[in-house]
Structure 1
């Protein structure tokens, strides 16, 4: 089980370390453990408690009242907020707790209720994608283990696949063609998979080639499909090359296609991109690009 410093708790909950220390002393809210060398640390139960406290506090409940709650009362209050709140920030906290507890039933309820209220696309853009970004931070700080990350990724992937399966298939034959793929060795496909949904919902024709695609296989598919646009996401470094080298290789291999790239290795990295390569900083940038190049009116 992961261990956290008080700075980790601050970073993950948004509550200042100074405030957490005051709550420890005044309300005995959490009790730090100590290593054999007398270094203070907190465990996953402490993280979950602080996330709960943060959510309740953001919804107007005083810390003095929270400190008096039993664990059962605390859980009941959290469920009540997540069931009734229309605030996406509250829902992100609730999903985080679902991940920590591996609670699939609760996850399904939150996603399904938001989809009914807001529609699938808005739920993804305002709830699920920010939640995945938070998971990324927690992963980098060892706040979650691989099982928890895989659990959530699998559930989100299921939701996107169901939404894609429900899309209309009678696409205009004159619509622009997109080919979506990830570099060889790249496995993080949720953003690319949702991009598939976004493009199809705006009338684009999509070939989805998925994870870890060797460059020779990409060349073969490109020759057959002849897409106007290639889209890829570089979360990690491409196999056997730098991001710049990989992008230049794509540019040279496919000079007649416009190549759209995104991901941590691209966005904010100040890369010098070839003329036929465009960086997408966000999914909103992708939506704008697709709508500007669409042959149909956005529904």
Structure 2
């Protein structure tokens, strides 16, 4: 069980801490506990409730009415709202609730419903990516625990792998080698890039997480890919980012290299001429469209 401050509740729900305190005092919606040193905190049940309440309130249901509803009634209203709504923010909030409750069945249903409505690609770009960005910030600030983050990441990873396996078109385009640097484990954006590249008719050599440099050299020598794509989210960090980028440029000088990720965007990195820095991972879609226009 996790403990949350009122600031954590604000970040997760989008409801200002001042408003939460008013709801707490006037409607008894929340019941904060206290540590041995008398510091107020909230538990998982409080967080689940306030996420649901915030979503219903955003859709025009008065807080006085919500406060009078049972937890079962609130849950049923949330399910009904999520199933009917096409608003991306509603779907992101629904996924957040599933993450907090670690409700795999509901998470699967929300994702599957959106994929049917929007298609897989738009679901990833407009719902999953913003959702992942939200939980990434919350994980860094300690508002959610690693178990919740891993739970959701693995479910999304499964969806991505299934979608990639469904791309059975013949490859008539270029060859891309996709990999993460050694020590880098954040794979979801790389998997989505693999999906997009295959969807556009190109071949993917997927090396995945934490690929040693010697393995990159070996595979490159055998396959001679036209393009390389890597994402540097957490490793390497600091001065190691520039060193790694320079090494890629030197060792794979005959290929164009696409690089993105938090570490390349948050610090000044000198980009060699044969490397293209993408400002966000999903920009690979624009790269693929540019290739198609050049062919035409």
For the aligned pair, the TM-score class normalised by the smaller chain equals over 0.9
User: Residue deviations 1:17-42, cap 9 Å, x none?
Assistant: 11111111111111221111111111
Give 1:13's aligned residue: 13
Q: Tell me if structure 1 keeps the 8 A contact 2:193–2:282.
A: no
Deviations 1:70-108 (A, max 9, x none): 111111111111111111111111111111222111111
**In 2, distance between residues paired with 1:22 and 1:270?**
45
Give distance in 1, aligned partners of 2:56 and 2:89: 12
- 1:102-148 per-residue CA deviation (whole Å, 9 max, x = no partner) reads 21111111111111111111111111111111221221122333332
1:27 aligns to what? 27
Moved more, 249-258 or 232-241: 232-241
1:222 paired with 2:240, answer no
How far does the alpha carbon of each residue in 1:158-211 deviate from its partner, in whole angstroms, 9 at most, with x for none?
Answer: 111111111123111xx1221100011111111100100011111222111101
Aligned residue number for residue 137 of structure 1 = 137
* CA distance in structure 2 between the partners assigned to 1:213 and 1:295 by the alignment: 32
Shift of the alpha carbon at 1:239? 7.9
Return the structure number with greater helix share.
Answer: 2
**1:91-130 correspondence runs (5 A):** 91-130=91-130
C-alpha contact 2:193 2:281 (8 A) present in aligned 1: yes
Structure 1 alignment gaps of length 5 or more = none
TM-score normalised per structure 2: 0.94
Structural RMSD (CA): 1.9
8 Å contact kept, 1:182–1:213:
yes
After superposition, where does 1:278-297 map in structure 2 within 5 Å?
278-294=276-292
Deviation at 1:284, TM superposition (A): 4.1
Between Structure 1 and Structure 2, how many residues are aligned? 296
CA shift for structure 1 position 257: 1.4
Label 1:297 to 1:160 Cα distance change in 2 as closer, same or farther (>3 A). farther
Structure 2 residue 51 is matched with structure 1 residue 43: no
Structure 1 runs of 4+ with >3 Å offset: 294-298
1:213 to 211, 224, 231: 211
**Deviation at 1:270?**
3.3
Quote the Cα distance in structure 2 between the aligned partners of 1:165 and 1:159: 10
Q: 2:197 aligns with which of 180, 196, 199?
A: 199
TM-score between both structures, scaled by the size of structure 1: 0.93
State the partner residue of 1:60.
60
Gaps of 5+ in 2: none
